Amino acid sequence: MTDVPVRFVPTDKAPTRAARMVDDFTPALIEVGEHHLCPGCGEPIAMRSVLEVIAELDVVQRSIAVFGIGCYTAFSNNLDLEVCQALHGRAPSVATGIKRAKPNTVVVTVQGDGDMVNEGLQEVLHTAARGESVTCIMLNNGVFGETGGHLTATTVLGQRTKNTLDGRDAEQHGYPILISNLIAQLEGAAYVARGAVNTAGNVSRTKRMITRAFETQLERRGFSFVEILTMCPTGWFIETEEAPAYLDDNLAAVHVGGVLKDW
Amino acid sequence: MEGSEAIAEAMVAAGCRFFAGYPMTPFTEILEQMAKQLPPVGGVCMNAESELEAVGMAWGAAATGTPAATGSTGQGLSLMQESIAELAMARLPLVVLNMARAQGDYWQATRGGGHGDYRTPVLAPMDVPEAVELTQRAFHWAATWRNPVLVFGDYYLAHTSQSVDVQPIDFGPAPDVSWALDGSSGGSGRAKLVSPLGTQKQRDDVGYDLSEHYLACAAATHAMLKGIEPMAEVALCDDADVVVVAYGTPGRYIRAAVKALRERGVKAGYVRPITLLPFPTEAVARAAEGAKVVAVYENNQGQMVDDVRLAVLGRTPVSFIGGLSLDTSGFGIAPDLDVTILGDRIAGALS
Ligand SMILES: Cc1ncc(C[n+]2csc(CCOP(=O)(O)OP(=O)(O)O)c2C)c(N)n1
Ligand code: SF4
Ligand SMILES: [Mg+2]
């Protein structure tokens, strides 16, 4: 970090000089290397928030992150955190094994909607029902981002994906699963919240949710869960700058944000 | 003591401190025993919600360097294959108990029912005392080679009572577990990674180098297969006209049948593979030298017979004398496992 003060200049005109780096905003827990996710993707913002919370709670040297398989998997090998890579859908049971074998660790899973709600739905439900002392983070963009924008169990009605070209139709493809609402009904779930990273306000609200989820684990109150709505301009087939508003109008209109359960 | 109880005791004696499973006969009793035996020694036994979750939980525990095991039977083992294959690529030690019904799962056990270019050593005990030894050996091999190891038993093994005294076996110094996760390397700039995609964090801008990782896994597999001495029991083969090859519970009956034939003057001998992978190819080849025929008994349509043919390489005729033999339960209680029936088949292979 340098001492150069950061100055934000609001403007609607292109800058006369090319942009220059005034500071390095990379979170401390990111190692060298690029993640190669698309510009405008929401997943790096969510990931950054998780990393900041782990650092702020001073649990870096007790933490183990368990990754599912999706675009966010790109982070599994450039974090300065211990990482256990799981298979598609299987992170909650791997996290359970880690936590039960080493109860003093702080265990967090990172999964996508396809990973958690499609391939591995029963894993997260049982882990929540057992009241497992782990924190599960789910990055919900309503598509399989990594395979190129296909329908998932959270895709909202009307949403166009590569395999629902005319939009998700309830008669053909059924209805989206509201995973946080489902988990909140389970006795073992102590904290359940749904945030988003499409605006600065949402980012900071979501970060508070993540903090509370980790506190739930540290206090051994039970299972903690944060669903984070993330932009996927590539998988939504829209312009990058349209994605935050698209998220509000589509995903967030069905997967409504807020704290669903707190101990 | 029943086989299941003895195997559970052997696991605890070998240092196993994490077990996860889902009931299925004849694996169920091992799960029951682990639920009883692990908590008093500070271990954890999880009643997983499916075999997928059982192997996932064991994966997580194994990643922390905790000696871990899971297991099942047929269908349950099929469900676990994705994870078993990838555990090998993540270089994680895990013991998998396959308490099979009959012997139809030889190919699944030895060829790997999962995807990818991996191998899992397979140990096939014939009775309870041997299971006690081989189960402990499985933990040692899993830890040494950082690879899943299968113990391939069956209904008889799980349910037969034999008197055994389970004592921990000393296999030498404990293998290194400095790769295991406990969180403490976080923030060091060298945080550990346990992954089927690679074992090194990114130091430049390339992401995972899967080519490098898979080549490293292949080298580790090669070293493992070279490092494990194939095991087999060989008897009465020096002057044998017929050499019988059989493993597991049927292997035990074949021993008795061969001895009975010798008393009748029939020159029979046997090879009982104990490691099914690596297969005791040399032991079979040597035993077959000078024999008129090699007879293979398995309670299936003929699976191991392929490995025997590969060992003999056409130098001696190979005759399959097995076949499916089941009772109505399908658990593998075989009417054919009878010394007279087997003796007739062995003698028949000579004519
Ligand atoms: C068993 C299995 N089936 C399918 C895949 C292929 N696959 C990889 S990532 C992915 C979808 C990921 O979607 P999601 O979890 O929503 O993450 P995103 O890419 O959107 O961040 C799929 C289907 C796989 N890796 N494993
Ligand atoms: S496809 Fe979507 S989720 Fe994947 S990196 Fe691109 S924007 Fe992000
Ligand atoms: Mg997704």
ipTM, interface predicted TM-score of the complex: 0.96
Mean pLDDT of A157-175: 95
- Partnered with residue A143 across adjacent β-strands are A151
pLDDT at A16: 67
A5: in domain: no
Residues of A with CB under 8 A from a CB of B: 28-29, 31-34, 36, 60-64, 66, 73-74, 76-87, 90, 92-102, 105-106, 122-123, 126
pLDDT at B329: 83
A227-239 per-position pLDDT tens digit: 999 999 999 999 9
A177: in domain: yes
| Whole-number Å distance between alpha carbons of A179 and A254 | 11
- The total number of structural domains in chain A stands at 1
Tell me the CA–centroid distance for residue A154 and ligand 2, in Å.
16
pLDDT at A30: 86
pLDDT at B209: 87
User: Whose CA is closest to A227, among A189, A175, A171, A173?
Assistant: A189
pTM of the model: 0.94
A34: in domain: no
Rg of the Cα trace of chain A?
18
Indicate yes or no: CB of B186 within 8 angstroms of CB of A80.
yes
Residues of B in contact with A85 (CB under 8 A): 90, 193-197
A205: in domain: no
In the predicted structure, residue A2 carries a pLDDT above the cut 60: no
A78: in domain: yes
Domain that holds residue A77: 58-197+210-225+251-262
In the predicted structure, residue A9 carries a pLDDT above the cut 60: no
Chain B, nearest residue to A81 by Cα: B186
Tell me the CA–centroid distance for residue A139 and ligand 3, in Å.
7
Indicate yes or no: CB of B191 within 8 angstroms of CB of A81.
yes
Mean pLDDT of A239-259: 97
Domain B3-159 has CATH 3.60.20.10: no
In the predicted structure, residue A32 carries a pLDDT above the cut 90: no
Tell me the CA–centroid distance for residue A176 and ligand 3, in Å.
13
Cite the residue boundaries of each domain of chain B with CATH code 3.40.50.970.
3-159
Indicate yes or no: CB of B182 within 8 angstroms of CB of A31.
no
The CATH code of the domain that includes A188 is 3.40.50.970
pLDDT at A4: 64
Residue to mutate among A34, A77, A80, with most B CBs inside 10 A, is: A77
Ligand 2, atom 8, lies closest to the CA of: A41
- Partnered with residue A164 across adjacent β-strands are A161
pLDDT along chain B (351 residues), means of 10: 95 98 95 98 98 98 98 97 98 97 95 94 97 98 98 94 94 94 95 92 74 95 98 98 98 98 97 98 97 98 98 98 91 90 97 87
| Whole-number Å distance between alpha carbons of A158 and A169 | 6
Of B59, B197, B201, the CB nearest to A94: B59
Cite the residue boundaries of each domain of chain B with CATH code 3.40.50.920.
232-348
pLDDT at A202: 98
| Whole-number Å distance between alpha carbons of B216 and B89 | 9
Q: By 3-state DSSP, what share of chain A in percent is helix, strand and coil, each rounded to 5?
A: 35, 20, 45
In the predicted structure, residue A220 carries a pLDDT above the cut 90: yes
Distances (CA, A) of A85 to A29, B186, B198: 17, 15, 9
A35-50 per-position pLDDT tens digit: 789 999 999 999 999 9
Ligand 2 in reach of A37 Cβ (< 6 A): yes
CATH of segment(s) B232-348: 3.40.50.920
Q: Cβ–Cβ contacts within 10 Å for residue A6, how many? A: 7
Tell me the CA–centroid distance for residue A86 and ligand 1, in Å.
12
Q: Measured between CA atoms, how close is A19 to chain B, in angstroms?
A: 22
pLDDT at B232: 98
A73-115 per-position pLDDT tens digit: 999 988 999 999 999 999 999 999 999 999 999 999 999 999 9
